[in-house]
């Protein structure tokens, strides 16, 4: 079976910067990675821990979905989820077990974390459930198309990653900041619609052209 060298969901510009970013990130996480290696923890286990960090996040958010102490503490577990999700890659490279299979696990945890985050905010009444469902659906399709285009070696020049703005908005809200989640998710969804339409068109044309060869 042919090796998958470009199994990721980065745009063309992101791929160009990703290597430099990984080098810097590996240096930052080097002490933690060294400790994890001593503890003989596998990268997939770290990915699992990143998902488990969302359990206390869910409990705290659902217990008291209003700005204040509960949500501020919930943010600690959200950040822990994001950090752990970022450590599994450097750990895999250091252990010599990195590859497409690891990238697949990383992408699954990354996207599942965003979906779970959205569902929790919906259940807590912080966002409108219907708007949240539409956002997750369109984001999922957009990511599938981005991965497909990378595999076809026809990546987008750039990709708008709205989830990080979503996470940041929750942090601001936790400290009593403005609550514009639904409005923002509508804007994010429109951006995803554009990405989905462009992605579908590019994949369709690429596959059509390949049939003529």
Which of 23-32, 43-52, 85-94 is least confident?
23-32
Region 176-187: mean pLDDT is: 94
Q: What is the per-residue pLDDT across 45-90, written as a single tens digit (0 to 9) for each? A: 999 999 999 999 999 999 999 999 999 999 999 999 999 988 888 8
Q: Where are the domains of the chain?
A: 12-212
The reported pLDDT for the residue numbered 4 is: 52
Residue 63 is encoded by which pair of tokens? 């217990």
What's the chain's average pLDDT?
87
- If pLDDT is split at 50, 70 and 90, which confidence band does 212 have? confident
Fold of 12-212: 1.20.120
Q: For residue 175, give every residue at least 6 positions away whose Cβ sits within 8 Å of its Cβ, in sequence order, or none.
A: 67, 72
Residue 199 predicted with pLDDT over 90 = yes
**What is the percent of the chain with per-residue pLDDT over 90, rounded to a whole number?**
55
Residue 168 predicted with pLDDT over 70 = yes
Return the top range by mean pLDDT from 5-9, 114-118, 156-160.
114-118
The reported pLDDT for the residue numbered 191 is: 95
């Amino acid at each position: 079976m042919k090796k998958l060298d470009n199994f990721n969901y980065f745009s063309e510009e992101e791929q160009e910067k990703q290597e430099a970013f990984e080098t810097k990130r590996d240096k930052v996480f080097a002490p933690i990675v060294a400790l994890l290696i001593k503890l003989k923890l596998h990268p997939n286990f770290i990915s699992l821990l990143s998902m488990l960090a969302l359990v206390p996040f869910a409990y705290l958010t659902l217990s008291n979905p209003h700005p204040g102490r509960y949500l501020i503490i919930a943010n600690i577990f959200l950040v822990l989820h994001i950090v752990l999700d970022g450590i599994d890659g450097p750990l895999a490279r250091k252990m010599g077990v990195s590859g497409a299979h690891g990238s697949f696990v990383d992408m699954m945890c990354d996207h599942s974390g965003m979906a779970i985050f959205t569902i929790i905010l919906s259940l807590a009444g912080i966002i409108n459930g219907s708007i949240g469902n539409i956002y997750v659906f369109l984001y999922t399709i957009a990511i599938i198309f981005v991965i497909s285009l990378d595999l076809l070696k026809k990546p987008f020049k750039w990709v708008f990653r709205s989830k990080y703005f979503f996470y940041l908005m929750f942090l601001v809200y936790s400290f009593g900041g403005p609550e514009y989640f639904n409005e923002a998710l509508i804007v994010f969804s429109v951006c995803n619609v554009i990405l989905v339409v462009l992605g579908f068109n590019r994949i369709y044309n690429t596959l059509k052209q390949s049939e003529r060869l």
